[in-house]
Chains A and B, each alone.
Chain A
Amino acid sequence: MSQSIQEVQNEIIEEFSMLDGDMEMTIGYVMELGETLEPLEEEQKTDDNIVKGCQSKVWLDAKPNGDKIHFKADSNTAITKGLVSILVRILSDRTPQEIVDADLFFIDKVGLNRFIGTQRSNGLGAMIKQMKIYGLAYTAKAN
């Protein structure tokens, strides 16, 4: 049985707590996480898949996988890619309902609101919204 959304977030909070709130280490770690992201094929990096941000681009692709949604994503900046990988780790391969209901409490807890709060510049807030919209769309389809 895989971990719940709640459990994955607790695990992430735990990982970040080891960085002691050091901003450089946090950024370094976020970038490392980006390296682990399942690659998104170049042909999936279409304008349709772009989540609008100002300084960095995020591509998000969603595919049904049984009764769940599988997300793949990428970004043109290393920090955003790392943040994207965290969101994918939490929300990919969940049911649409789980995605719609997800309360992303880890953001405040690990001090990432600094990055995610500046939605305009990195498109991450928009990415969360887009993931939820996919969740809603699939829920609607299922009904």
Chain B
Amino acid sequence: MSDTSVVSNTLDIEAIRSQFPILHQKVNGKQLVYLDNAATNQKPQSVINALEHHYAADNANIHRGIHTLAERSTTAFEDTRKAVQAFINSNEVEEIIFTKGTTESINLVASSWGRKYLNEGDEIIVSGLEHHSNIVPWQLIAEEKGARVRAIPVLDNGDLDIAEFSNMLSNKTKLVAVNHASNSLGTINPVHEIIKMSHEAGAKVLIDGAQASSHLTIDVQALDADFYALSAHKMYGPTGVGILYGKRSLLEKMPPYQGGGEMIKDVSFDKTTFNDIPYKFEAGTPNIADVVAFKAAIDFINDLGKENIAAYEEELLSYATAQLNEIEGVRIIGQAQNKVSVISFVVDGIHHFDLGMWMDAKGVAVRTGHHCTQPLMDRFSIEGTTRASFSVYNTIAEIDIFVEALKDIIKKLKP
């Protein structure tokens, strides 16, 4: 099974690949095989064009100008907001706040919501699968408030221990912050269930959707999520843009996160009043061009269809998993039933750094290290892993190259 056409899918992968100029290059003399998609995935020509078009034709500051370019820029900027609203099915477009990414979205909630609502003795529950960006902001605010951060344990297969989570919930729990899918292991968490349980305990829930956004269907209303964060660059979009979704009822009561232009209604030295949401949380000139180009990325995903993408990536994942399972000395970390297309592994006697460097020499880009999830690495008593992660433009043929490279390196390096 070394031919992409074998994959039973409606997507024309070669046509999709032709939309990604970056893929068609050699690195270190070898055809690039890009398998570091969980860190950031590549951008189709339409996104690159949108970025260029903005600067070449429409650039102006938004919301404040009355001239034509300002009008065009503002419209394009707000069109992305509408596209995001539809993409995650929020009830209102004003519930979408632009940030520079998931990290900033989480920090916004920790600073604004956390500062207002957390008190001494309160508890914030995160999980053992979290990225540092969904741990550290909570530690910072918890320290300030005398609150406590606790973590849902991770089971041996990479799933969260939901039974234990149930025991951890109490009237002290003010917020639960977990990812929709794990960047290190790929585990898809039962967020619907987690949200329901948390709400029953009276806690609010923030979902870190950084790894879910390009793979899973997101419906914040069906989930009943209080907050949802994602990054455009992990969904074929530009870097430097993300969103925070928050329920209107929560966002309206939250104090501003940063002060500046755009976020105010009236300013005087006696009293400043703040703008309505979402602008209250968007101080200063935002990353206009990248927000505008973000819409092209959403269109790209919508045009292919999330279900089609997910089905295809699932085939890539199961093919790669089967291949890796056949190699002696390779141990996959994270074997949850439900996974996004992320596969993390360790090789007996070979350090991931050596493996990753040698992979690069063969043109294969993988990630090595702790993937910003040190507590999770500690949980599995490892320093780090090698991680291959797939996007819709990857092929079975590329997985074959990766697997052959891995076998060859193991042969060379095995003590």
Chain A 11-31 per-residue mask, 1 if CB under 8 angstroms from chain B, else 0 = 000000000001110111001
Residue contact A27 to B357, C-beta cutoff 8 Å: yes
Asked whether B200 is an interface residue with its Cβ less than 8 Å from the other chain, the reply is no
Enumerate A21-65 residues with CB–CB distance to B below 8 Å. Answer: 22-24, 26-28, 31, 54-56
- We find that the number of chain A residues with CB closer than 8 angstroms to chain B is 18
Interface size of B by Cβ–Cβ distance < 8 Å?
16
Shortest distance from the beta carbon of B381 to any chain A beta carbon, whole Å: 15
Contacting residues of chain B (319-339) with chain A, CB-CB under 8 angstroms: none
CB of A79 within 8 A of chain B?
Answer: yes
Chain A residues, Cβ within 8 Å of B351: 56, 76-78
The answer to whether residues A122 and B353 also contact, given A23-B28, A54-B369 and a CB cut-off of 8 A, is yes
**Whole-angstrom distance between the Cβ of B402 and the nearest chain A Cβ:** 15
Most chain A CB within 10 A, of B29, B354, B369, is at B354
Q: Are A121 and B353 in contact (CB under 8 A)?
A: yes
Give Cα distance in the complex from A24 to B368, angstroms.
Answer: 18
A121 contacts across to B, CB distance below 8 A: 353, 369
Assess the A23–B353 pair: CB atoms within 8 A.
Answer: no
Given contacts A23-B361, A27-B358, A78-B413, A55 and B353 within 8 Å (CB-CB):
yes
Query: Which residues of chain A are near B29, meaning CB under 8 Å?
Result: 22-23
Please determine whether A77 and B358 come into contact, CB atoms closer than 8 angstroms: no
B361 near A79 (CB under 8 angstroms)? no
Q: Does A9 contact B (CB under 8 A)?
A: no
The residue that B361 contacts in the complex, of A27, A76, A78, A122, with Cβ under 8 A, is A27
Answer yes or no: B412 CB below 8 A from chain A CBs: yes
Among the listed B28, B353, B362, which residue makes an inter-chain contact with A77, where contact means beta carbons less than 8 Å apart? B353
Contact, CB under 8 Å: B358 / A56: no
Docked complex: A66-108 residues within 8 A CB-CB of B: 76-80
Docked CA distance A109–B52 (Å)? 37
Docked pose: A122 CA to B412 CA in angstroms: 21
CA distance A56 to B350 in the complex (A): 12
**Counting CB contacts under 8 A, is B387 at the interface?**
no
**Most A CB within 10 A of own CB, among B29, B351, B361:** B351
Judge whether B362 and A24 touch: CB under 8 Å: yes
21 pairs of residues in contact across A and B, judged by CB atoms under 8 Å: A22-B29, A23-B28, A24-B28, A24-B361, A24-B362, A27-B358, A31-B354, A31-B413, A54-B369, A55-B352, A55-B353, A55-B369, A55-B384, A56-B351, A76-B351, A78-B351, A78-B413, A79-B357, A121-B353, A121-B369, A122-B353
B residues sitting closer than 8 Å to A (CB atoms) are 28-29, 351-354, 357-358, 360-362, 368-369, 384, 412-413
Binding site for B on A (CB under 8 A): 22-24, 26-28, 31, 54-56, 76-80, 115, 121-122
Further 13 A-B residue pairs, CB within 8 A, beyond A56-B353, A79-B357: A24-B362, A26-B361, A27-B361, A55-B352, A55-B368, A56-B351, A76-B351, A77-B353, A79-B353, A80-B353, A115-B357, A121-B369, A122-B353
